[in-house]
Amino acid sequence: MSNTVLQASHINKYFYEPEKFQVLENVNFEVKKGEFLSIVGKSGCGKSTLLYILSTMDTDYEGNLEMNGSRLTGLSQDRLADFRNEHLGFVFQFHFLLAEFTVLQNVMLPAQKLGKYSTKEIEARAYEKLKLVNMEDYARKQSSKLSGGQQQRVAIARALINDPTIIMGDEPTGNLDKANSNLVFDIFRKISHENHQTIITVTHDPDFAKGGDRIIEMSDGKIVSGGR
């Protein structure tokens, strides 16, 4: 199927500290292009662990992971970094901007790393993404001077800069008040429906999850509903 962008099959993952413990047990699912997917479940059910495996940053698992039609399991760290750079965008719970850089620099960095466009074009694109999240007026500000909600919006702009296939969020609204949460949700909604980029988020927020296209519910390392 050409519009399947992510396929995870038979994912098993163990923690070895303090003793051997199976966090994920035979997880199988697929995600379609343009889908807005939320993964929910209680704390400790393994949903964040699953997200980090999907994000390619955690490579210590069993099973098979395919994205955009290429197999990612077993690739070297540097190849995975290049893949993340081009095809994945991340939004974390705690904003995670580089404090010493300006808002604009934060957004531009992944694109400069990719090196597909000239610095001028990258700057124009960065402004475009900042406009999307309504942060273009803050472009020249030091990122550490922004409020939490503002930082999260900048982080979304950064995730979007390389037009990735998939955007992943780890509790993207976990630290935000209702107004900011709604703002972030609206942006995600827009990205998925208008740009047809896939969104996978791990969330505790039931309203946020309900607004998406599909919910995967996890419990004790297994998918209990919503898996396909």
Residues that bind another protein (CB under 8 A): 48, 52, 55, 57-58, 77-78, 81-86, 88, 90, 92-94, 96-101, 105, 109-110, 112-115, 158, 170
**Residue 209: count of CB within 10 angstroms of its CB:** 20
- Rounded to a whole number of angstroms, the minimum distance from the CB of residue 225 to another protein is 25
Closest CB to another protein among residues 71, 116: 116
Closest CB to another protein among residues 28, 112: 112
- Rounded to a whole number of angstroms, the minimum distance from the CB of residue 219 to another protein is 20
- Rounded to a whole number of angstroms, the minimum distance from the CB of residue 161 to another protein is 9
48 vs 203: CA distance, rounded Å: 9
- Rounded to a whole number of angstroms, the minimum distance from the CB of residue 59 to another protein is 9
Closest CB to another protein among residues 81, 189: 81
C-alpha to C-alpha distances, 69 to 6, 33, 65, 111, 180, nearest whole angstrom: 8, 12, 10, 23, 35
CB 210 within 8 A of CB 185: no
Chain centroid offset of residue 91 CA: 5
**Residue 44: count of CB within 10 angstroms of its CB:** 12
